[in-house]
């Protein structure tokens, strides 16, 4: 007899699925096969995908649906066998869903979710437990169905889960909250239904209950002062004390989740958790968790960032605890998974956002060399994080003037990132470039030699307003305190019509930066004001029209400084500034800019000053100035008194 061809032979996996699909296979054999399949796929992604491609999921769910319907009609040994099959089928489904989004998708597509939910009401505790375990795994995926808390029936069901004596069932309830609680309305509905009280009671339960509760509480309280107050208030703050103690727990994930919960409370209601001991305890706990080799260590830098971001006091505590040293040491001992490396750069960025001592320490530990490597990393998230770190590291006049960021090995990859396919990378790179090109001719020269100016001009025409505004911001800084040759290079590449179109941009933030760029272009040297008169005064007319039409204070401020710079020029320039009306405002920033322009217009040694003072008096501007001499803002008061004194010299005469 001839041998069969390889393509006609069934693999063991195919035979197993065939037996499970066959109505001829006895229930006892199906139970054995389900157990065998489950054991084969545990922790084996390849096996999971192989079985899914063979149609394992519809087969298993069909078996589960059959035994669930049969359990209502059979008793005795048949009932017991069906329960055992249900337990193994649910466990196999859970194994497919564990850590594999494709597996979760397969589970949901064949309708397994409703059948698994029905297991929770089964009288056999082991069946309930199997269903709850699998549903917990499904709810770890973003693909899990969203639970509608606002429906009364659903809220009652959720409370029944949280009240269960089975820890997997209560854990499921907590997981449902973590997955589905996304709006303040949902947070409030959960709070009003007494869910916070239920979750607090789980803090003293098993390890899995504690961790599920901590995670859920964070979602219920995030950015919601009312639910935070509901959690903090009862029992003289006992729930907060319990969570505070958990940052010293022996389990790393428990410590991390407790830290996250406390940070959310503090960030949401700054009046809470102001004790220096708690702040230090959080920093030290997270510092230790950075060393964890697993998922906790991957998440710890992000939690640390949420603690210290925009908080100088906590950054100082972290600096004293040598957090900068620890983070830089981790960069040296890498490599890491992309997520951890991203988190380390973001944590370093937050550490260096405010304090000079942190920047100095990071530079002394050669952090810049790690940034150079990260700028060319395959991961867009890491490239973005490295740019953000560089942006904050370069927020230092001292370090910029020392030439730390003028190296072409940093500048060249930064310019290349302006062409990155990822928008977030481009925006982060623009932010870093905006800092590094300020006021240092050497770096401006290297940047322009690397093609940076051409790229900034291209990005200023982007359809994405976030890219446009950041590109103009970088051009604004590139034009700051440079000679006319550099300004002419910028205008030659950008062109006056393009800059004019940016002044008319529909986004006010783009208008503001375009105005600021014009302001810098006509700043010192004095003859720079000629640029606004080019092409028949195209820029000047655009500035004037926008000053009359915009209501955005930030745009008006930059416009006033343009007029102030213009008014510092010769008589023609001053008269051009006079042709623009000064907007009235109570914003001190705008008042300072406007008064500076008036000071320049009424400068006594200027031949046409007397005529301008008369025009200003007739327009009511001198009277307006007199009301500002006692302004609560010192800068406004001083400049107003100077302008009034200069004006009165001519009026009295």
Tell me, what's the pLDDT at 582? Answer: 56
| Range in 125-134, 231-240, 275-284 the model is least confident about | 231-240
- If pLDDT is split at 50, 70 and 90, which confidence band does 1 have? very low
Q: What is the pLDDT of residue 5?
A: 43
Task: Report whether 67 contacts 89 (CB < 8 A).
Answer: yes
Q: How many CB atoms lie within 10 A of CB 268?
A: 17
The most distant pair of C-alpha atoms in the chain lies apart, rounded to whole Å, by 127
pLDDT, residue 401, reads 78
Q: What is the pLDDT of residues 496-512, one digit of tens each?
A: 999 999 999 999 999 99
389-403: pLDDT as tens digits: 999 999 988 888 777
* Average pLDDT of the segment spanning 333-356: 93
Please tell me the distance from the alpha carbon of residue 31 to that of residue 475, in angstroms, as a whole number.
70
Selection from 417, 427, 415, 481 nearest residue 453 by Cα: 415
Mean pLDDT confidence for 463-475: 96
Q: Rounded to two decimals, what is the model's pTM?
A: 0.84
Confidence tier at 579 by pLDDT (50, 70, 90): low
Q: Which residues contact 568 (CB under 8 A, 6 or more apart)?
A: 526, 529, 600
Nearest Cα neighbor of 51 from 63, 35, 34, 37 is: 37
**Six-digit token string for 574:** 């001053």
Question: What pLDDT does 561 receive?
Answer: 86
Residue 201 clears pLDDT 80, i.e. is over it: yes
Q: In whole angstroms, what is the distance from residue 616 CA to residue 651 CA?
A: 11
The mean per-residue pLDDT over the stretch 6-27 comes to 83
Is residue 596 within 8 A of residue 643, CB to CB? The reply is no
Q: Which residues of 98-134 are buried (b: 16+ CB within 10 A; e: fewer)?
A: bebeebbebbbebebbebbeebbebebeebbbbbbbb
Is the confidence at residue 614, as pLDDT, over 90?
A: no
199-210 mean pLDDT: 94
**What integer pLDDT is reported at residue 550 of this predicted model?**
83
CA distance 394 to 348: 13
Find, among 506, 503, 429, the residue nearest to 471 by Cα.
Answer: 429
DSSP letter for 625, please: H
Q: Tell me, what's the pLDDT at 2?
A: 47
Mean pLDDT in residue range 526-534:
80
> What is the pLDDT at residue 585?
65
Range scoring the smallest mean pLDDT among 225-234, 372-381, 461-470, 573-582: 573-582
425-450: per-residue pLDDT in tens?
999 999 999 998 886 666 677 888 88
Average pLDDT over residues 580-593: 70
- Residue range 63-81: average pLDDT? 79
**Average pLDDT of the residues in 213-228:** 96
**Rounded Cα–Cα distance for residues 144 and 142 (Å):** 6
Q: Rounded to whole angstroms, how far apart are CA atoms 316 and 318?
A: 5
580 within 8 A of 546, measured Cβ to Cβ: no
Question: Is the pLDDT assigned to residue 75 strictly greater than 70?
Answer: no
Q: What is the pLDDT of residue 74?
A: 57
Instruction: Compute the average pLDDT of residues 393-420.
Output: 86
Distance between CA atoms of 128 and 68, rounded to whole angstroms?
A: 12
Provide the angle, in degrees to the nearest 10, between the axes of the packed helices 534-549 and 508-521.
140
Amino acid 4: pLDDT: 45
What does the pLDDT look like over 621-630, one tens digit per residue? 778 788 888 8
Residue 551: the pLDDT is 80
The whole-number average pLDDT for the span 335-361 is 94
Mean pLDDT value across residues 154-183: 94
Percent of the chain beyond pLDDT 90?
Answer: 64
| pLDDT value of residue 8 | 43
Lowest mean pLDDT across 114-123, 325-334, 545-554:
545-554
Mean pLDDT of the chain: 89
CA distances from 446 to 394, 407, 449, 455 (A): 16, 8, 5, 14
pLDDT at 71 over 80: no
pLDDT at 72 (0 to 100) = 63
């Amino acid at each position: 007899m001839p041998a069969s061809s390889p393509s006609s032979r069934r693999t063991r996996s195919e035979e197993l699925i065939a037996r499970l699909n066959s109505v001829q296979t006895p229930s006892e054999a199906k139970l054995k096969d389900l157990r065998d399949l489950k054991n084969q796929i545990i922790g084996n992604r390849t096996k999971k995908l192989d079985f899914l491609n063979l149609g394992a999921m519809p087969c298993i769910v069909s078996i589960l649906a059959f035994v669930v319907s049969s359990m209502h009609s059979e008793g005795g040994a048949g009932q017991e066998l069906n329960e055992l099959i249900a337990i193994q089928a649910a466990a196999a489904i859970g194994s497919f869903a564990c850590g594999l989004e494709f597996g979760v998708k397969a589970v949901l597509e064949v309708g397994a979710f409703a059948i698994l939910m029905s297991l929770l009401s089964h009288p056999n505790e082991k069946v309930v437990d199997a269903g709850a375990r699998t549903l917990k795994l499904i709810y770890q995926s973003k693909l899990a169905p969203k639970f509608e808390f606002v429906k009364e029936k659903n809220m009652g069901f959720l409370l029944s889960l949280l009240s269960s004596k089975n820890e997997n069932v209560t854990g499921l309830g907590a997981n449902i909250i973590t997955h589905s609680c996304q709006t303040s309305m949902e947070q409030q509905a959960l709070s009003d239904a007494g869910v916070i009280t239920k979750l607090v009671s789980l803090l003293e339960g098993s390890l899995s209950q504690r961790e599920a509760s901590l995670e859920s509480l964070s979602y219920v309280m995030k950015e919601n002062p009312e639910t935070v107050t509901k959690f903090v208030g009862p029992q003289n703050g006992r729930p907060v004390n319990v969570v505070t103690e958990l940052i010293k727990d022996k389990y790393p994930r428990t410590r991390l989740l407790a830290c996250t919960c406390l940070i959310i409370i503090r960030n949401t209601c700054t009046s809470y958790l102001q004790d220096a001991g708690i702040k230090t305890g959080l920093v030290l706990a997270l510092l230790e968790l950075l060393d964890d080799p697993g998922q906790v260590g991957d998440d710890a830098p992000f939690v640390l960032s949420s603690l210290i971001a925009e908080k100088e006091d906590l950054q100082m505590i972290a600096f004293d605890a040598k957090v900068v040293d620890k983070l830089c040491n981790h960069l040296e001992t890498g490599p890491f998974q992309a997520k951890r490396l991203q988190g380390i750069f973001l944590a370093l960025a937050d550490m260096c956002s405010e304090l000079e001592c942190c920047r100095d320490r990071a530079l002394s530990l050669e952090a810049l060399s790690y940034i150079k490597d990260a700028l060319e990393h395959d991961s867009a998230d890491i490239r973005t994080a490295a740019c953000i770190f560089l942006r904050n590291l370069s927020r230092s006049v001292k370090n910029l003037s020392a030439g730390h960021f003028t190296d072409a090995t940093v500048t060249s990859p930064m310019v290349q990132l302006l062409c990155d396919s990822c928008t977030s990378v481009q925006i982060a790179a623009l932010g870093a470039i905006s800092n590094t090109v300020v006021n240092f001719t050497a770096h401006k020269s290297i940047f322009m030699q690397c093609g940076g100016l051409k790229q900034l001009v291209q990005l200023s025409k982007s359809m994405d307003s976030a890219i446009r505004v950041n590109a103009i911001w970088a051009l604004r800084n590139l034009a700051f305190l440079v000679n006319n040759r550099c300004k002419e290079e910028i205008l030659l590449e950008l062109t006056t019509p393009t800059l004019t179109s940016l002044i008319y941009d529909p986004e006010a933030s783009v208008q503001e930066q375009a105005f600021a760029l014009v302001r810098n272009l006509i700043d010192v040297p004095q003859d720079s004001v000629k640029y606004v008169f080019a092409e028949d005064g195209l820029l000047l007319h655009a500035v004037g029209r926008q000053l009359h039409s915009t209501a955005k204070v930030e745009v008006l401020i930059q416009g006033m400084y343009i007029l102030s710079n213009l008014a510092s020029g010769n008589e023609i320039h001053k008269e051009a500034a006079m042709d623009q009306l000064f907007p009235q405002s109570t914003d001190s920033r705008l008042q300072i800019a406007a008064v500076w322009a008036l000071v320049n217009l009424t400068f006594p040694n200027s031949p046409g000053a007397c005529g301008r003072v008369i025009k200003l008096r007739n327009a009511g501007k001198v009277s307006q100035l007199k009301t500002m001499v006692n302004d609560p803002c010192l800068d406004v008061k001083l400049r107003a008194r100077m302008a009034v004194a200069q004006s009165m010299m001519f009026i009295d005469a």
